[in-house]
Structure 1
Amino acid sequence: MQYTHNFNPTISDEDIFSEIVREKEDIGYYNLPFQDTAPLKEYAKSVKQSNIVVIGIGGSTLGTYAIYKYLKHSRKLDKKLIFLETTDPIDIQSKIQSIDLQDTLFIVISKSGTTVETVSIFKYINSLVVCDKTNTVIVTENDSKLNRYAQINGMQVFEIPKNVGGRFSVFSAVGLLPLAIVGIDIDELLKGAKKLHDAFFIKKDDVQERLLKKARFLVEYKNSFNINVVFSYSSRLEGFNKWYIQLWGESLGKIDINNTRQGLTPIGIIGPIDQHSFLQLIIEGRRDKTVTVIKVENFDNDLKIPAITLEGLEELDYLNDLEFSSLIKSQADATIEAIQNLNDIPCDVITIDGVCESAIASLMYEYELLTSLCGKFMYINTYDQPGVESGKIILKKKLQS
């Protein structure tokens, strides 16, 4: 992974790093790259169904979708992965109608085991097909009500560790189980995450330096640059953008130890599509945004613009024989140069190696680390979500009244 930036805050980060090392003893996501994947792979081999339906919401689906979206067109996968994650009735029906329910495995994921959206959808599925140990697997905490339901019905259960929050759970069974079942190499995923872990905690190389520097900058200048734009130059990263928005917003929008409201606003956009919309706001709008451009070095695709001349458009023949992958990389470089030439928009660039498991996992683990670092600099609890919980309480009262 290559990296460049145009900001350079210089303050010692030893204390923050020590805090993260201490936190690592209690917060479980840090150590997920070192888990034993054998039980997950063994179960995955036993699955005969062609359709894999994940029933969950938020942290139970977004990370898995991010990886699946990034890799699915570069892998020969013999199973289809579908996500039921909204109570929108049109979305539910349209997805259900597109698959054979008799040839479907349902993976029900809820850390608490009582997520309203998840249980509601699962109830609907139960009205359409018999859900039993042959076609349903549960992913939840070991003492949840959903776990009890699974035990009563003899269903296979995979545990979400209590010290792993939902939005940090993609490298647990939450993400690894469905991905392994459809044929994605979960060992390579963990290898990519472990590479970032070791670079930050053990080697203490440029990865540690740049993440500490970036986190400190984002927090120290949050009143000037409160909006953090991730500009991903690949449509395959659409899922990553959605995952980043949840990770950033739900983790960092908090009240700190001084009872002061904190937060950084995440925005995820896709290049080159948003060069024709949001880039205008970046270039000539208010200077309240940082920009992170994410490039893909190797698309593993040689699709070319054909060498043909269109009458009236001869002046664009310089595009002939150009690979689309080269075009999108040039578009990213042009955007980066346009931003950096202004000298008043904080901009950094992440170039990931290619379309493979280790590349997307490294990127996601890096953003988990960055989120934790920002939380430490802000003096907040990165891992709770009281604002979300208050809405759940209100919803429950409304539905029960």
Structure 2
Amino acid sequence: MEFLYKNSALVAQERISMSAELLKQVIGNLRQATFAKDYSNPESFINLPQDENILKSITAIKEKKNKPNLKYIFVAGIGGANLGAKAVYDALFGYFDNFYPQRLPKMIFLDTINPKVSASMSGFIEQNISSADEILVCIVSKSGETIETIANLQEVSQILEKKFGDIKERVIVVTKEGTRLWQISKEKGIDTLTLPETVVDRYSVFSAVGLTPLSFLPFDTGQFLDGAKGVVDSCLSDNPEQNPAMLSAIIISEHYKTGKSINDNFFFHPELESLGKWYRQLMAESLGEEKRIEGRLEKVGITPTVSIGSMDLHSMAQLYLAGPQNQITTFVYAKDTGVSPQISNSALFANLSPDVSGETPEHIVSAMYRSIKTSYIERGIPFMEVVLPDLSAHSLGSFMQFKMIEMIYLGALLGVYVFDQPNVEEYKQKAKEMLAKK
């Protein structure tokens, strides 16, 4: 993975050096967390990719639950409980599902409440699933009481029970030890995995939260974890030139100080859109905060947006190039997509566009990517680049760990505690109160 910013980020080197000095204590805390190899504080999420006990527990359940005729994995979870797994699934499999209907198993994510999905699920199960071995239900909720997750769990469970009877052997629960969900699962003999108390959902993709559903796919878990482990040393370096997480955080922070409160993450691969949404939650929930400074209430936060190339060059580029300069952009691009077919003229549209005849889609996308960067430079619009070697499990692991460490640095620079979300809990409590008034 390469991080490129010189001549495009528009942040003075002395400002980078000053901020790097401020982050030395934070780096020390992260190093201490890696040395301890435990989960004594929230920063310990950094140790998840090296935790062999997590992998052993997941492997044991996979060996017990996996069936040769497994067709569908229903993942009931929302927010940090499912965005990481969905990001990886869509990047490697889901975006292309329509082209490979016979490739199984497929994941179905039950996140928000949708009456049409609920109404359609019964017919889908009736028509497409003939044996309980063909399905797996994975419930992911750290608190064990997330309203949307519990509602979706109840819905899919009762449909499956109606068709197959007792389905507990086809269910996996991932929750914090001691929750009501954990207690019920244990009482009923449902296979249950836990995650460390201190690990926050949005930082948990390398725990049972993300790895459990992904482990049932033709997915290289080892490479995914190796990618995460491989960036830790550089992301904990004191030298900002060797530390992409620190550099990215400093650049975003410096532009935030000048009024650029939007961080647009521009992915030039549409299969990475869900990865963008994973990062959107990571940044939004980590940095959005109300705090009092000298008796005055100040609202802090950077708004993360997701753009997809080259599609959004035809929907958002006019705003980005000519609109208010209130954002710092992070372009994400992979050097090698693994395929390179050539575009040939069809008989029907021969000679319609000589510019594309004989080209590869990869080369066309590269031209689009280089052209928008050139326009940004000419207009003085700041950006940085994350260049992935490919779109593999290893690259995804590297990117996700890099971004989670980046968030620690950003929180320190903005004076924000990145491991809570009290205002999210506020709406959840109000929703429970409203539902209680039947």
**TM-score, normalised with respect to structure 1:** 0.93
C-alpha distance in structure 2 between counterparts of 1:187 and 1:81, whole Å:
20
1:212 and 2:219 matched: no
CA contact (8 A) 2:73 2:108 kept: yes
Q: For residues 95 and 285 of structure 1, do their structure 2 counterparts lie closer, same or farther at Cα, with a shift above 3 Å needed? A: farther
- Of residues 277, 286, 296 in structure 1, which corresponds to 2:315? 277
Q: For residues 261 and 327 of structure 1, do their structure 2 counterparts lie closer, same or farther at Cα, with a shift above 3 Å needed? A: same
C-alpha distance in structure 2 between counterparts of 1:57 and 1:397, whole Å:
20
CA contact (8 A) 2:2 2:387 kept: yes
CA contact (8 A) 2:27 2:238 kept: no
Worse-superposed segment, 33-42 or 169-178: 33-42
Following superposition, the deviation at residue 214 of structure 1 comes to: 2.7
Following superposition, the deviation at residue 205 of structure 1 comes to: 7.2
Following superposition, the deviation at residue 207 of structure 1 comes to: 4.1
Deviation readout 1:30-69 (Å, 9 max, x if unpaired) = 1111111122123223311321111011111111000111
C-alpha distance in structure 2 between counterparts of 1:336 and 1:185, whole Å:
33
Correspondence for 1:328:
365
Correspondence for 2:187:
152
Q: For residues 302 and 66 of structure 1, do their structure 2 counterparts lie closer, same or farther at Cα, with a shift above 3 Å needed? A: same
Q: Identify unmatched segments of 5+ residues in structure 2.
A: 34-40
1:260 and 2:260 matched: no
- Of residues 42, 46, 54 in structure 1, which corresponds to 2:60? 42
- Of residues 333, 339, 357 in structure 2, which corresponds to 1:301? 339
CA contact (8 A) 2:72 2:135 kept: yes
Question: Across the two proteins, how many residue pairs are aligned to each other?
Answer: 398
Residue 353 of structure 2 aligns to a residue in which SS? helix
Following superposition, the deviation at residue 87 of structure 1 comes to: 0.7
Which letter does structure 1 place at the counterpart of 2:321?
A: I
CA RMSD after TM alignment: 2.2
Q: Identify unmatched segments of 5+ residues in structure 1.
A: none
CA contact (8 A) 2:142 2:201 kept: yes
Residue 336 of structure 1 aligns to a residue in which SS? helix
Correspondence for 2:271:
236
C-alpha distance in structure 2 between counterparts of 1:260 and 1:303, whole Å:
53
C-alpha distance in structure 1 between counterparts of 2:176 and 2:404, whole Å:
21
Correspondence for 2:396:
360
Which letter does structure 2 place at the counterpart of 1:282?
A: Y
**TM-score, normalised with respect to structure 2:** 0.86
Residue 382 of structure 1 aligns to a residue in which SS? coil
1:92 and 2:110 matched: no
Which letter does structure 2 place at the counterpart of 1:215?
A: A
Which letter does structure 1 place at the counterpart of 2:334?
A: V
Which letter does structure 2 place at the counterpart of 1:244?
A: Y
C-alpha distance in structure 2 between counterparts of 1:206 and 1:154, whole Å:
52
C-alpha distance in structure 2 between counterparts of 1:171 and 1:275, whole Å:
33
Q: For residues 95 and 354 of structure 1, do their structure 2 counterparts lie closer, same or farther at Cα, with a shift above 3 Å needed? A: farther
C-alpha distance in structure 1 between counterparts of 2:28 and 2:149, whole Å:
35
Following superposition, the deviation at residue 314 of structure 1 comes to: 3.2
Deviation readout 1:228-259 (Å, 9 max, x if unpaired) = 10110001101111111111111111124635
C-alpha distance in structure 2 between counterparts of 1:392 and 1:96, whole Å:
28
C-alpha distance in structure 1 between counterparts of 2:375 and 2:25, whole Å:
38
Residue 169 of structure 2 aligns to a residue in which SS? coil
1:79 and 2:116 matched: no
1:129 and 2:145 matched: no
Percent of aligned positions that are identical: 25
Correspondence for 1:342:
379
C-alpha distance in structure 1 between counterparts of 2:321 and 2:347, whole Å:
34
Q: For residues 194 and 315 of structure 1, do their structure 2 counterparts lie closer, same or farther at Cα, with a shift above 3 Å needed? A: same
C-alpha distance in structure 2 between counterparts of 1:109 and 1:144, whole Å:
12
- Of residues 164, 182, 185 in structure 1, which corresponds to 2:199? 164
C-alpha distance in structure 2 between counterparts of 1:4 and 1:308, whole Å:
39
- Of residues 32, 44, 47 in structure 1, which corresponds to 2:48? 32
Residue 3 of structure 1 aligns to a residue in which SS? strand
Q: For residues 190 and 321 of structure 1, do their structure 2 counterparts lie closer, same or farther at Cα, with a shift above 3 Å needed? A: same
CA contact (8 A) 1:77 1:182 kept: no
Worse-superposed segment, 265-274 or 221-230: 221-230
Which letter does structure 1 place at the counterpart of 2:182?
A: N
